[in-house]
Structure 1
Amino acid sequence: MNQTPPEYTTMPTTAAPVTVTFSWYDYTLFSTMLAISVMIGIYFGCFGSKQSTASEYLMGGKKMHIFPIAMSLVASHISGITLLGVPADVYKYGGAYWLCIPALIIVGIVSNLVYLPVLFEAQITSVYEYLEKRFDQRARTFSSLLFALSQVLFLPIVIYIPALAFAAATGFNLHLITPIICGICIFYTTIGGLKAVVWTDTLQFTVTLGAVTVVLALGVRATGGFANVWSKSLEGKRLDFIDFDPDVTRSDNFWAPVIGLSIVWISMTNTSQSCVQKLLSVATLRDAKLVIIYYVMGMSLVKTASVITGLIIYARYSDCDPFASHRITRKDQLLPYYVLDVAGSVPGLSGLFIAGVFSAGLSTLSAHLNCMSGTIYEDFVSKRVPRTITEQSKSKILKLIVVVCGVVCTALVFVFEHLGGILQLSISFAGATGGPLLGMFTLGTLSRRANCKGVFYGGVIGLIIVLSLALPVKYLQSYGIIRDLEKPTSIEGCSFNFTTVHQRYETQTPRSDESLVIFKISFYYYSLIGFFFTTVSGLIISYCTERDEKSVDEALLSPIIRQRVSNHKNGGVTEYDTVENALRLTIHNSEDKNDSKA
């Protein structure tokens, strides 16, 4: 979350940061996971069809099974950001993130009813091809560019967090381990295509789930049972999130996570190539809808586990805050510190935990690299290569794109490690791109009147407005002008001696009043803001300009608004569902006849 920690003046006398140390058990577990991932890539890349066609490489030949696709979707969206970030966020700011569960239910319902039927019937390789069919090439290019830029900013962070954890666990240099691990991921993604991505995601998600389960079980045991965890969380105000205060500057009330995450994940599920590419790789629309249902269930379980882990960590350290005592200094150190504390003597647990965190990062990286190659090829490269190019040549180009994108993202890791607050910047950028993208797709699926000018300029307006909000916020936060308040912590139960001046959250004097109120809006709402201004401005521009010359293909509209016309051959009589539709179609047919006579 985009909160800034309170100021502490702490002089510890005996406390020292704790580091993880790998044993041979840990190295064995971690190496086995990587070795199996590589073998999966070799199998799909060198045997069978060898991913020799673009359809096979990107869509798995549209013969993928429901369960591995659903698990791959979950795995590709459960990165180290979730495993390390959510528990630390809950510890610091409370369990409001748990409201992502009703948000996920909304995502499943809206996706299956509104967007998925349209995208599946369109039979597209790049999801942004839909915008070209519905509007024009300019809308497609703009949306593809937004997606590519968001991935370039997102993927280095995805791999940086687990690489940092692994470097701390083993003592290896971060600059050495990052290219090695990324190289392995690029290798099996390049030669194996979507099938390798899906099956390695399934393997890696299993490892991740095992790590999370072990951490939960040991944590509950170490803190005296779940009843004690719940009691301490209530006392510490970590569960005070059923608050219907409409204040949009708060991130810990009911509305911010439910509304904000609903928009974010609806956009991610239906406008991100990384999701849609997998949804379209199954055989039927019914299968795709089942994938969505299983995806929502899997995401709910992992998110719940991460939130509960945060509550368990708070129960463990409710009387001795590791931040105030300077045992740790960064939020991403909290979960590794906790794992060592409760189970440092268990052989192999450190390896399982780091392997789980790294598995989450690798699965996300591989999935997004694969879909980026499809988007870049379909929307940019394919228009510049001969139409006579063979399928095998297409597959080689796709693999080359994966390598280039992987190398770029790996190189950016070494840039991002020197940029403070880059995680907050990436979340804000995700809102800046996700909101306008969802607005553009919504204009296409739910409005017949929306035209090419409306959807393009609406997207541009939505993007500019969100960036105009997010970038100044980043600047104000860097100078401490905007500071969100943390939940209370204590150091009264610490068993070591140190001198500390701890500014509790009740006594903090916020400086945020020095800034404009608009810049205090919760980052949860960035996608909603982008979506709102894109759709509203897009509709206004569409109504103020001429209609597009081409008629709207009913198959490109959502089923909930498609015109229901049934032709019953009963004496040549056509039945219409409404008088309005009858008049509109009659006029349209008359115009077509006149044009043909002319």
Structure 2
Amino acid sequence: IIDWAPSLTEMTLFVVMISYFIQFLHDYGVDQVTVQRLMATPTLGGMARATLVNSFISVFVVGLLAFIGLGLYAYVNVGDHPFPDGLNRDEIFPYYIIHALPQGISGLVITGVFAAAMSSVDSGINSLSTIVVNDFVKPLRGREMDEGSDVLLARILVVLFGGFAVGVAFFASTIGDMIKTTQGFLGAFSGPILALFLLGILTKRANFPGWLAGMVCSVGVVLWLQYNTDVHFVYFFPISTIGTFVIGFTTSLLFPSSIQTESNPADV
């Protein structure tokens, strides 16, 4: 179960530790959904407590998920309940829920899955609408509008993004390996966002064109690795984050920005 040997095609413990450390930096530091929830906390101490509690609960939940996998393995190999041939790993647990669990328990589990999915999707959709209104619409509009108009626009965007998410769900069965596809998408596009913040925090000479060059290169590399090699998806997030940071910083040094900005800490 525990394998420390480095491998580009297997999920080993050492690589998982590095990959998920970087991914948690993104999740707890720059992810829009998490940031909005923390900003709703009235005090800094409350933010710290919420983060600690969430971290410990996440470890507990991940442990439960691991035991689910071990239970399914025992169900098939020890209990002699083979699954039909041709099932991929995205279909094993749903098949078990539908065909192995009693009808009442099966319904409760399916209800829980839908509830968990909705609680995740609605947070993302709300974050998307907030970003569009505050970071795109308001600056481009160039004039202040009453709060009611912004709220109405945000609600319209929620409906549009929700409809788009529902439409994409109909094509989920054609995507292939859902876990690899999701991790590839997160690695390709979330890693550069984390690198953007790291460049701003850890360096003084990084600029936006440099980060943009690093992002384009890293996204291209991750997408190529995903569809043309057998590199395990656990590598995608570290590759995109580190690649964007290194290329972004190097490009910023080679092509420094002519615009110098200063900020007053009291305004941040």
Task: Normalising by structure 2, report the TM-score.
Answer: 0.88
Give 1:413 shift. Answer: 1.8
Alignment of 1:287 onto 2:43: no
Which of the two has higher C-alpha Rg?
A: 1
1:525 equivalent in structure 2? 235
Tell me if the contact between 1:448 and 1:552 (Cα under 8 Å) persists in the aligned partners: no
1:350 equivalent in structure 2? 106
SS, match of residue 463 in structure 1: helix
- Change beyond 3 A, Cα 1:469–1:342: closer
1:371-386 equivalences in 2 (<5 Å): 371-385=127-141
Give a deviation string over 1:229-250, Cα, whole Å, max 9, x none: xxxxxxxxxxx22x22122332
- Change beyond 3 A, Cα 1:550–1:272: same
Return the alpha-carbon distance in structure 1 between the equivalents of residues 48 and 180 of structure 2: 33
Give a deviation string over 1:468-522, Cα, whole Å, max 9, x none: 32232xxxxxxxxxxxxxxxxxxxxxxxxxxxxxxxxxxxxxxxxxxxxxx3322
Give 1:422 shift. Answer: 5.0
Q: Which amino acid in 1 is paired with 2:105? A: L
Give a deviation string over 1:313-340, Cα, whole Å, max 9, x none: 22222242523xx288343443344456
Tell me if the contact between 1:451 and 1:548 (Cα under 8 Å) persists in the aligned partners: no
Choose between structure 1 and 2: higher helix proportion: 2
Alignment of 1:441 onto 2:189: no
- Change beyond 3 A, Cα 1:420–1:333: closer
Give a deviation string over 1:141-187, Cα, whole Å, max 9, x none: xxxxxxxxxxxxxxxxxxxxxxxxxxxxxxxxxxxxxxxxxxxxxxx
- Change beyond 3 A, Cα 1:331–1:539: closer
Q: Output the aligned Cα RMSD.
A: 2.4
Tell me if the contact between 2:183 and 2:236 (Cα under 8 Å) persists in the aligned partners: no
2:58 equivalent in structure 1? 299
1:470 equivalent in structure 2? 226
1:536 equivalent in structure 2? 246
Return the alpha-carbon distance in structure 2 between the equivalents of residues 328 and 466 of structure 1: 28
1:245 equivalent in structure 2? 5
Tell me if the contact between 1:377 and 1:398 (Cα under 8 Å) persists in the aligned partners: yes
Give 1:298 shift. Answer: 1.7
Q: Which amino acid in 1 is paired with 2:254? A: C
Alignment of 1:418 onto 2:128: no
- Change beyond 3 A, Cα 1:431–1:554: farther
1:409 equivalent in structure 2? 165
SS, match of residue 520 in structure 1: coil
- Change beyond 3 A, Cα 1:387–1:439: same
1:553 equivalent in structure 2? 263
Give 1:402 shift. Answer: 0.2
Task: Normalising by structure 1, report the TM-score.
Answer: 0.41
Give 1:547 shift. Answer: 5.1
1:158-169 equivalences in 2 (<5 Å): none
- Segments of 5+ residues of structure 2 without an aligned counterpart are none
Return the alpha-carbon distance in structure 1 between the equivalents of residues 153 and 72 of structure 2: 47
Return the alpha-carbon distance in structure 2 between the equivalents of residues 555 and 256 of structure 1: 38
Q: Which amino acid in 2 is paired with 1:528? A: P
SS, match of residue 546 in structure 1: coil
1:392 equivalent in structure 2? 148
- Change beyond 3 A, Cα 1:357–1:520: same
1:56-71 equivalences in 2 (<5 Å): none
Return the alpha-carbon distance in structure 1 between the equivalents of residues 58 and 146 of structure 2: 39
Give the percent of matched residue pairs that are identical in Structure 1 and Structure 2.
27
- Segments of 5+ residues of structure 1 without an aligned counterpart are 1-239, 473-518, 557-598
Give a deviation string over 1:388-444, Cα, whole Å, max 9, x none: 310111111101100011011111222333343355323211111122111111001
Q: Which amino acid in 1 is paired with 2:50? A: V
Tell me if the contact between 1:322 and 1:328 (Cα under 8 Å) persists in the aligned partners: no
Alignment of 1:266 onto 2:22: no
1:557-572 equivalences in 2 (<5 Å): none
- Change beyond 3 A, Cα 1:365–1:467: same
Return the alpha-carbon distance in structure 2 between the equivalents of residues 419 and 448 of structure 1: 41
SS, match of residue 317 in structure 1: helix
Give a deviation string over 1:72-107, Cα, whole Å, max 9, x none: xxxxxxxxxxxxxxxxxxxxxxxxxxxxxxxxxxxx
In the alignment of these two chains, the number of paired residues is 265
